[in-house]
Every structure is written in C-alpha cells, then in structure tokens.
Structure 1
Amino acid sequence: MLAFAPLDGAVGAATSVLSGIAAFIAPVAGPAAMALAIVAFTVAVRLAVAPLSLAAVRGERRRTALMPKIQELQQRYGKQPDRMRTELTALYREQGTSPLAGCLPVLVQAPFFMVMYRTFTIAPPAGELWGVPLGHHLMQGLGGSVLPLYGVLLLLLILLAVFFARRSRRQLGPQATGLAKLMPFMSFLTIPTALVLPLAATLYLVTTTSWTALEHLVLRRPTH
C-alpha cells in the first residue's frame, strides 16, 4: 500500500469516528452497529459537503443560461480567436460567473470521497451485516447470507443506475453523438465495481449513490 501521510491521517480520523458511532449505537444495533455506522457516517459527510453540491448546480445552471449568448458569440467571432476570448471574458464578468463555475466545488469534494473510499477498502472496519463480515469479498464465497445480502445491494445499484441513465439520456437529448451517446451507460459501472469491493465499501457505494440520486431529485429538478 502506498503511503500518503495527509490522506492516511484523514483515514485514521475517519476510522475513529466510525468506531465512535458504532460504539454509541451498539446497544441497539448489536452486530450490525458498524454497518449502520458506515451508512450514518457517509450521510453525515455528504450533508457536510452539500453546500458544495449546491454551488456546483448553481454554476452549471449559470453556464447553461449563458449558452445562447455564447453560441451567438461563436457565430460572430468564430474566426477571430483573440476577439472571441475577449468577448467571452467580458460576458462571464458581466454575468458574475466563469467557465469553471460549478467545477471547483466538485473538485473540492474529491478529497472527502477519496478518504471514505480508502477507509472502506484498504482496511475495512470490523463488523458484520446479516452475519456477513464487512471485509468479505464475493470471491471468498456465496454461502450463508452473502448471496441474498449482495442481491439486495446490487438490485439497489441497478435501480439507481437506471435512474441516472434515464436522466442523462433526457439531458443529452436525441442530438447526442459520438462518445456522448455512451454517457448514460456510465452509471452502470457501479455494479461491476461492487462485485470486487469488500462489503463495507459496497455499503458506502450504495449509500453515497443513493444520496447523489436524492441530490439530483432535489437540486437538479427542472426549473420550468
């Protein structure tokens, strides 16, 4: 395992928080305490970075609203690159936005997701769910509760993938060409990913993907 001190320190802190949550709910949750702690911790982190998600959505909407004016400038100054850059800069300044609006909040969120991913994959926390250890991989066997448990989790991921694929197809429209046509299918990559992750990471994946779907329903709902 490659060591990266800042990230490893954050992973250690996350593991301590997880242990604290699990210990707090253990009297009620029993053996499933750590599994529920993973869900609760993931939701808490997503709540903490929710303002960044909101900022990203606002930036995307500003860029979308400017597209007609940008296309007009492209038609007018498409053969004059320097003039085009000047006019675009003036347009963004006038509207109080930038070409990167919405991108920076997404990049700022990335370290949080890296920490959680490492927390649940490098050294999965001890615990179990339905009698299946949180460190269990499918290649270790399908006996006991493994098959029904993973069946439920994979079904949830399939339903979420269908949800994202439909939204992506709707946003792209029939005019999508080339690689853009493949975008709706990217959401299904969570399914093979879940097949090679330990159970703890699969729980995280289902929880964070469900939260993203909720954000889409709340923050990215049509404005008209």
Structure 2
Amino acid sequence: MSVFASLGTLLTTLADRLDPLFGASATAAAIVLFTLCVRAALHPLARAAARGEKARAALAPKIAELSRKHKNDPERLRRAMADLQAKEGASPLAGCLPTLVQLPVFFVMYHVFSTGSGAGDLLDHTLAGAPLDGRWGGAFAGQQGLVYLGLFALIAAVATWTYVRNRKAARDATAAPGARGATGAKGATGAKGTPSATAAPGVAGVARVLPLLSFGTLITAAVVPLAAGLYLATSTTWTAVERALLLRGR
C-alpha cells in the first residue's frame, strides 16, 4: 500500500468515526484531527527548538563581544559564532526542524486531494458545501466563498499575531542590556538603530524578513486544495499557540 493510499485509508477511518458528530463535514474534521496528531507527535522537536532559542538569547552578551572583537573580519566572526553556538548547544537550525519534518506530510495531503491518488471517495466530501479537493476561485460569494473567507480570516489572524510577537521579540532583544553591554549604547544597533553588531553579516536582513513569512501561508492556502488549506490553518494555529506557551516569560 502506497503512502497516499495509507493516508486516504486513515482519513476515511477517522471520518467514519466522526460522522455522527460532524455529518457531511466529517472528513474535514478528520483532516483537522490528523493535523493535531501530527503536531502533537512533533511537540518534542518544538520543545527542543524553544530551548535552543532561549539559549541563543542568553548568548547575546557573548555574541556582542565577538561582534566587537571581529567587526572587521566577517568570516572570522561567522566561525566564532558557529563555534560558540555549537559549544552551547544553540544551533540556529533547531527551530526549523518541526517545519521541515512536516513538509512530507503536507506534500502527501496535497497530492492525495490534487490527483485523487489513494483518495477513494474522499474527493466527494465537502466542508459546508465546499469540495475538499476544490481551490479558491477568487470570489467570496455563496456558501463556498464563505468557507474560504473563514479559512483566510483564521490564517491571516494567526499570521498577524505571529508577526506582531516576532517584531516585539526582536525589539526587546535589541533593547536588552545584555545585547548592548559589551559594545556600548550603539554597539547592538549601529548608528541608525538597525541590528548589526550582535549578529553575523546578513543575519539582520534575514531577521527583518522572517516575520513576514508567516503571511506566506495565506498565499499558499489560496492555491492549494481546501483539504491542504485546512492542514495549513490548523498547523499554523498550533504553532502560534505552542510557541506562545513554550517561550512565555522569555
């Protein structure tokens, strides 16, 4: 049995169990439940990523000192920061693991509802009248349009909340005494107040762009089948809540 058929069978089984509660939308509920199970299984990775993020924040004074010491040698600064992060177990890649591990699961979901491979009769199921294998047509009129409007509203709300939290965290990190202690008042932000001294070359630009990536989910949900959009909406909501709980009090 292929992985696509396995997912189709699993969703069918879950939908049958949920049918008494959700009726015609049981398959949509099964997708949400499946997504929650996937994210629960990945929670240990998220906890490890949160510990790594806290460890990197705690390294701010040492990073500031390295930035001052090697400010004229970007390559040596990069190596020194890599050595420091490896020594303290604060790998910057740890935070990407939950997302990377999810990609194959999302691809399988997308493939099943795009091609019908292993889907069985799942393609005949709907969410409040909107076909699970359908895509947004650019309009919000009618019952199907309202389903997509609700989906996009949820994703946009989560993305906005994530963006605001990330921007606030970045401002707090820049303003923290530990981030400036080794370089003075301008050491962490430079003359124009942009992060430069506490990060390796190029990291400041990436840090400004990363918060905007949360809105990429909204664009993706607009072009993938509704079933895959449900997976994205559920997963991003879980991520936002999970990070808020794991990083509280940082």
What range is the shorter-chain TM-score in? 0.7 to 0.9
Q: Give 1:13's aligned residue.
A: 6
CA distance in 2, matches of 1:43, 1:69: 38
Q: Give 2:29's aligned residue.
A: 36
Contact 1:131 1:145 in 2 (8 A): yes
Q: CA deviation at 1:99?
A: 3.5
Instruction: Name whichever of 19-28 and 8-17 sits farther off.
Output: 8-17
Matched residue type, 1:160: V
TM-score by length of 2: 0.71
CA distance in 2, matches of 1:206, 1:87: 36
Contact 2:140 2:149 in 1 (8 A): no
Matched residue type, 1:37: A
Contact 1:58 1:102 in 2 (8 A): no
CA distance in 1, matches of 2:106, 2:10: 16
List runs of 5+ in structure 2 lacking aligned partners.
Answer: 172-192, 196-203
Q: Give 1:5's aligned residue.
A: none
Instruction: Return closer, same or farther for 1:87/1:182 CA change in 2, 3 Å cut-off.
Output: closer
CA distance in 1, matches of 2:13, 2:21: 14
Q: Give 2:237's aligned residue.
A: 210
Aligned length: 214
Q: Which runs of 4+ in 1 moved over 6 A?
A: 80-84
Higher relative helix content: 1
Q: Give 2:52's aligned residue.
A: 59
SS in 2 for 1:145: helix
List runs of 5+ in structure 1 lacking aligned partners.
Answer: 1-7
Contact 2:162 2:214 in 1 (8 A): yes
Using CA pairs under 8 Å that are at least 6 residues apart, name the structure with larger relative contact order, 1 or 2: 2
Q: How is 1:103-182 mapped onto 2 (pairs within 5 angstroms)? A: 103=95, 105-106=97-98, 107-123=100-116, 125-126=122-123, 127-139=125-137, 144-173=142-171, 175=194, 178=205, 180-182=207-209
CA distance in 2, matches of 1:90, 1:158: 37
Instruction: Name whichever of 133-142 and 20-29 sits farther off.
Output: 133-142
Q: CA RMSD in A?
A: 3.2
TM-score by length of 1: 0.78
